[in-house]
Structure 1
Amino acid sequence: MSERTAIVLLTRDLRVHDHPALASACSAFDRVVPLYVLDPALAGLSANRSRFLNQGLAELRESLRKRGGDLVVRRGDPVAETIRLARRVDAEGIGLSADVSRYAQERERRLRAECARHRMFLRLFPGVTIVEPGGLKPAGGDHYKVFSPYHRAWQGARRRDELAAPRRVRLPEGVDPGRLPAPPKGDSPDAVPGGESVARHRLKKWLPTLGRYDDIHDDLAGDETSRLSPYLRFGCLSPLAVANRAGDRAGPFVRQLCWRDFYHQVTGAFPEISTKAYRRGAREDWRYDTQALDAWTEGRTGMPVVDAGMRQLRAEGWMHNRARLITAGYLTRHLGLDWRAGRKVFARWLLDGDVPNNSGNWQWVAGTGNDPRPHRGFNPVRQAERYDPDGAYVRRWVPELAAVEGKAVHQPWRLRDEVRRKLDYPPPLEVPGTDPVWLR
């Protein structure tokens, strides 16, 4: 009896623990080829994510080798390279974790057509989210458009069982595993490293703070959030495993995982989420001001909490979630600039910059997305005084203001003239036709 072979095409699932596609293939087939294809079309989008990705691939290779297998790496078009290798090893079919972006949906469509042409099967598996994007639907609709009813349905949804890592992975003989790329330097000097073991260690170390999450997650200076988002974005951690470790006592934290699932199901139904307004009839009378956009990007707007957030982004490839809301609200609601420009900046720098969450949150803040209150305001000074009350976060990232004590650091334009002139810090950006209350 001949041995049966399958390929597992890896994408945003760089782990061996709780990997449904990999576990299923190792259970049902004699030989399994874990494959990652480096697509030149995605190269250069983010040096930070490229570094994180390559670190994750290197660790995944080591994990697979410990189990007798290997990570096979190819370069080129993912569909063409997968089919070429499948024919080379006489694979019966291909397993793939289902995903929702326009890129992922097009890859799946093309791969399904090629599999049919070559008499192979393509099977999709869960694993990128906790609840599958198409698993919950409201009456009379194809997806939930508002978070609260989705959250209620999500809480009652039956979850799949968490899966152990396969004990053994066996490659077909003669398969060249290919060479891993060297991780690029990246743009952010303080970015965290990628990889499943780093992710699992970070989760284990952070879990004891979980009971305080509702009190600490908005504290800008305290910086006690989990910082697991990059590892979830690349699948170094299973989101189901994270939810299971958190357990029922972690309502506010698990609610954030639900938000992640929510935007995945929105993107599955609306793959244009990065380029088109989700909310029909949304006003999009944006200004286009290159100098203002550059000042915002570089953290020199003259609004300290905004500049602090943008500088953290550039240094770490990550930004506190509250700071993301403040910086995005400032760009769209005060400067009046197009949310797409801000999305692109975040997409370049963020380690966790995936399509559903980055684009979905930008549209929420801009009033073009899933927010049922699309005209809500964002006062950056009020936000700063509430979530960074003594100014420690601002002083950490805007050292020009380190000598300004207390919450006065949030409004340096109100300092005495002789004090303000000594600061190497710009005045707030002026926007024609506006007179924000916080600048008065």
Structure 2
Amino acid sequence: MRTAIVLFTRDLRVHDHPALAAACAGSDRVVPLFVLDPALQAISANRTSFLHQALADLRRTLRGLGGDLVVRRGEPVAETIRLARAVAAETITVSADISRYARSRARRLAREGSRHRMDVRAFPGVTVVEPGTVHPAGTDHYRVFTPYHRAWLAARWRSESGTPRAIRLPGGLDPGELPRPPSGVSPGAMSGGETAGLSRWRAWLVPSDSSGPGAPDQVCRYADDHDDLAAEATSRLSPYLRFGCVSPLALANAARALDGPGPAAFVRQLCWRDFYHQVAFAFPGLATKALHATREPVWRRDADALRHWQDGRTGVPVVDAGMRQLQAEGWMHNRARLITAAFLTKHLGLDWRDGVRWFFRWLLDGDIANNSGNWQWVAGTGNDTRPHRGFNPIRQARRFDPDGAYVRRHVPELAAIEGGAVHEPWRLSDAVRRDLDYPAPLESPRDEPAWLRA
């Protein structure tokens, strides 16, 4: 009887899972395996908790198919090879990934598998279009999004893999214990797992009247409403994509099948995700090195200003609302991410790497490609063709939170200030300001910006 191991990494699902489907098609017995790497467990309590919930959900699903999720702790390659030898596995399948860590793990797994005469095979599944599949003539990746988007839409996407009907484990195998939840998790963090991800997917993409024609209520408004800070007008599927609880290809196919500007705008966002994955694949140092070093200014060091930014006490309400949402939910509205990142880099003149690290600590959806790529885009060191682009926080607030509802939701000190006046508390009367437990705006090392002038 042929035995295969499927090494799960950040592909925690059974639907459209090419590595799992291939193992089930080619082997009589299949061992789904996840190895808890101690080196990764302390980076973010939010992501660790989400991961643990996803593992518990995956175990329940696999048990429903007759199998189980085998959990081990230690160095992933060593533990995988040890288990493969114990069950006499001929094949190890894994989803290909793009980070420096993942690629090093894949190389070591292939080397050790070959040494033990095991066939190690990598499959797509982390992105819609694999990095390197489309590229301009004479170079290995796209550096500008718009031509990449055209090539991405025109590319031949792989076929979705079917969900296994049944999984058979070798006898006598100890599945191992699931990890205990960590402390320090954001109180409003979303729950992890394929079940939760598919439920959110259905709420986003399935029409409210499933018996009738037309696009769903949520996604059809996406083009118009996705930048509205106060509205719940985004899918919030990004953490489920980051951990592979939902398939990016299946999600893109489902959205692409719908008509209208809303679904098209949503698919475009999935393309942005793939865009940064192909950038990170070509430039593995994306989280720490500037893509365009010649554009990088001399960043200043100011520990107090950085701490105030981290704590949401900058004195600029829309910035503080975003930073507090980050800690409260482990998630931040994308428009707020742009505003807060621009405030750190363009207004305070602080290093984008400080922002990358802080977001990594809290974001459920934090990954090397998208977190780092977006930070470099805002800082002007990355893939933006307009590196000196500015983000006036007050103009952004007035446009995307005109009534101030987003700010009042996350900055309770300002909840009594009605309407758009909440965005500029420094313009209120002296009597009102004296009663506010709210700081004055942090000063910029540059000239005082126009939005602060009376």
CA distance in 2, matches of 1:366, 1:279: 11
Map of 1:184 onto structure 2: 182
- Is the Cα–Cα contact under 8 Å of residues 10 and 96 in structure 1 kept in the other structure? yes
User: Greater shift after overlay, 349-358 or 199-208?
Assistant: 199-208
Segments of structure 2 that go 5 or more residues without pairing to the other structure are 206-215
- Is the Cα–Cα contact under 8 Å of residues 101 and 355 in structure 1 kept in the other structure? yes
Shift of 1:106: 0.8
2:301 partner letter: Y
Map of 2:376 onto structure 1: 363
Map of 1:81 onto structure 2: 79
2:34 partner letter: Y
Equivalenced residue count is 438
Map of 1:106 onto structure 2: 104
Structure 1 segments of 4+ aligned residues over 3 angstroms from their partners: none
Given the alignment, which residue of 221, 229, 232 partners 1:212?
221
Mapped pair 1:97 → 2:95: yes
Map of 2:408 onto structure 1: 395
Given the alignment, which residue of 242, 245, 267 partners 2:280?
267
Map of 1:373 onto structure 2: 386
Shift of 1:146: 0.8
Q: Secondary structure at the match of 1:281?
A: helix
Given the alignment, which residue of 329, 339, 343 partners 1:330?
343
Given the alignment, which residue of 357, 365, 372 partners 1:352?
365
- Give per-residue Cα distances to partners, 1:158-212, cap 9 Å, x unaligned: 1111122101111111211111012224420010100111110111112221111
Map of 2:4 onto structure 1: 6
Shift of 1:353: 0.4
Q: Secondary structure at the match of 2:294?
A: coil
1:12-51 to 2 correspondence within 5 Å? 12-51=10-49
Map of 1:319 onto structure 2: 332
- Give per-residue Cα distances to partners, 1:240-260, cap 9 Å, x unaligned: 111122124211000000000
1:188-207 to 2 correspondence within 5 Å? 188-207=186-205
Map of 1:231 onto structure 2: 240
Map of 1:161 onto structure 2: 159
Given the alignment, which residue of 392, 405, 423 partners 1:410?
423
CA distance in 1, matches of 2:341, 2:170: 49
Given the alignment, which residue of 386, 411, 415 partners 2:399?
386
User: What percentage of residue pairs aligned between the two structures are identical?
Assistant: 69
- Is the Cα–Cα contact under 8 Å of residues 314 and 439 in structure 2 kept in the other structure? yes
Shift of 1:120: 1.3
Question: TM-score if structure 1 supplies the norm length?
Answer: 0.98
Shift of 1:223: 2.1
Q: Secondary structure at the match of 2:105?
A: helix
Shift of 1:432: 3.1
Shift of 1:76: 0.3
Question: TM-score if structure 2 supplies the norm length?
Answer: 0.95
Shift of 1:285: 0.8
Map of 1:123 onto structure 2: 121
Shift of 1:277: 0.3
Q: Secondary structure at the match of 2:386?
A: coil
CA distance in 2, matches of 1:260, 1:30: 36
RMSD across aligned positions (CA): 0.9
- Is the Cα–Cα contact under 8 Å of residues 49 and 185 in structure 2 kept in the other structure? no
- Is the Cα–Cα contact under 8 Å of residues 67 and 169 in structure 1 kept in the other structure? yes
1:183 partner letter: P
Segments of structure 1 that go 5 or more residues without pairing to the other structure are none
- Is the Cα–Cα contact under 8 Å of residues 5 and 91 in structure 1 kept in the other structure? yes
